Amino acid sequence: MEFDIWKHFFSDKILDCIVKNTNDHIRLARANYTRERDAKETDILEVQALLGLLYLAGVLKSSRLNVEELRNSNGTGVEIFRLTTSQSRFRFLLQHLRFDDMTTREVRKKLDKLAPIREIFDNFVTNCKTAYTPFEYVTIDEKLEAFRGRCAFKQYIPNKPNKYGIKIFALVDAKTFYTSNLEVYAGKQPDGPFAVNNSPNAAVQRLCQPIKGTGRNVTLDNWFTSIDLLDTLYKNFNLTLLGTIRKNKKELPIEFSRPFKRPALTSMFGFRENATLVSYMSKKNKNVLLVSSMHHDDCIDRNTNKPDMIMDYNATKGGVDSVDKLCAAYDCARNTRRWPMVVFYSLLNIAGINSLIIYSMNNNIDSIKRREFSKRLSFHLIESHMRRRAMQGIPRTMAARICEILGTETPQSATSILADHRGRYTYCDRRKNRPTRINDD
């Protein structure tokens, strides 16, 4: 069940694209390897197993741990890593993982800076839009995926935990924290089909396209909020807006933007046809400004003495920040110098969270441990490849252990190794080449 839901987000179309382009890159790099088996092509089962191991490393908070330590056989490692793939193969796949056609990339980059990951990113976002209908409150904000390598559109945001990285705008359900829409900020794109207006107003309108005309409310921070955007969403999108607004906006009356000697914990309201403005003095000389097209009164919460607008804003503003926290809790991202991998890891994290939300709602489960869900998901991703690997002549103890974990009978290939394979008797000196059919167990 967990695997089926996850496959809606990382569909066969996306996985086939990854397999095809990864194999193309492997063939191009094969001349660098002395043995053909060191550059063997991959398939969808192995790619799924690789993603399952990434999820498992995130659950165990070991995604940044060295592969050798993950695979240690001295009791400190994770056994399933050794059973699923070899250390060299794990590194090989991560090194050669690709998401687009390398032969046409340079041509496509002349029109699109996101060419190395555009295809699977757009497919993933489409899958997110079709899988779920948000509740009445949604949040739009930016995520910053940590990255300090070379990237033409790398951003610096000093108030983020990771100050350097790739900025991704997200539309998130404020109640369940489901991510419905995403857009990577790629800076100024070359003239062509991917050239877009990067202003906050335009970015919000693009993100709101899936919920256009539904009457939902969009909560924003002061980087996005403006009176023009409020009017546009209200008239053209049938959406309301609730957000903090900067004091330097020219549309604001001076009494609101520069309050003079107003006491703390007091509020001042302003009204117009389709919007309400409030200035709340949270403490001395601390002025909080909010604008809303959802509220049309001056109601004050009796318990906190705050306007209802502020109470609703505090309740719905944290959608994207909550997704960031969930991603950081079981982050599957590994260290990399390639920015497309950073975006890819972000999609993996979001797919895991969205899958959990869909699973919980389909099964009417109010609270389910994400740790257990992610473990089950990772095992389902790994299972098919492990079963196949047990048939491929790996060491007999490893094959037997895989069968024990999967709850299956020892495969014929492993049985032949255990019973019929000619080998040296355990207690004989290796210099005495004396083959035997007697089982040393």
Q: Tens of pLDDT along 255-287? A: 888 887 788 888 999 999 889 999 999 888 889
In a domain, 337, yes or no: no
In a domain, 277, yes or no: yes
Cα dihedral sign for 32, 37, 42, 45? negative
In a domain, 94, yes or no: no
| pLDDT tier at 419, thresholds 50, 70, 90 | very low
Residue 134 and residue 245 share a domain: yes
Give alpha helix (H) positions in 269-411. 308-316, 319-329, 339-362, 370-389, 396-406
Q: Which of 278, 303, 321 is the last residue of a domain?
A: 321
* pLDDT tops 80 at residue 438: no
Question: Quick one: tokens of 154?
Answer: 């790398």
Instruction: Give CA–CA dist 381/374, Å, rounded.
Output: 10
User: How many C-beta neighbours within 10 Å does residue 295 have?
Assistant: 23
Q: Helix (H, G, I), strand (E, B), or coil: what is residue 201?
A: helix
In a domain, 376, yes or no: no
The domain containing residue 207 runs over which residues?
Answer: 118-321
The upper half-sphere exposure of residue 158, i.e. CA atoms within 13 Å in the direction of its Cβ, equals: 0
In a domain, 379, yes or no: no
Tracing tokens 């382009």 back to the chain, one arrives at: 21
pLDDT at residue 138 in the model? 97
Q: Which of 270, 305, 321 is the last residue of a domain?
A: 321
The DSSP H or E segment spanning 164 is strand 164-173
Residue 315 and residue 402 share a domain: no
How many domains does the chain fold into? Answer: 2
More confident call, 291 vs 73:
291
Residue 425 and residue 300 share a domain: no
Contact residues for 43 (Cβ-Cβ < 8 A; gap 6+) = 19
Q: How far is CA 158 from CA 144, 205, 290, 405, in A?
A: 11, 26, 24, 47
pLDDT at residue 417 in the model? 44
* pLDDT tops 70 at residue 415: no
Backbone torsions φ then ψ of 111, nearest 5 degrees: -115, -20
- Chain-centre distance of CA 287, in angstroms? 36
Interval 175-206: pLDDT, tens: 999 999 999 999 999 999 999 999 999 999 99
pLDDT at residue 412 in the model? 56
* pLDDT tops 50 at residue 420: no
Q: Which of 321, 347, 376 is the last residue of a domain?
A: 321
Residue 293 and residue 179 share a domain: yes
In a domain, 37, yes or no: no
Residue 394 and residue 255 share a domain: no
In a domain, 293, yes or no: yes
- Chain-centre distance of CA 209, in angstroms? 21
Instruction: Give CA–CA dist 287/278, Å, rounded.
Output: 10
Residue-averaged pLDDT of the chain: 89
Residue 156 and residue 273 share a domain: yes
Work out the percent of the chain whose per-residue pLDDT is above 70.
93
Residue 405 and residue 281 share a domain: no
Residue 298 and residue 207 share a domain: yes
* pLDDT tops 70 at residue 7: yes
Residue 312 and residue 163 share a domain: yes
Interval 14-23: pLDDT, tens: 999 999 999 9
In a domain, 341, yes or no: no
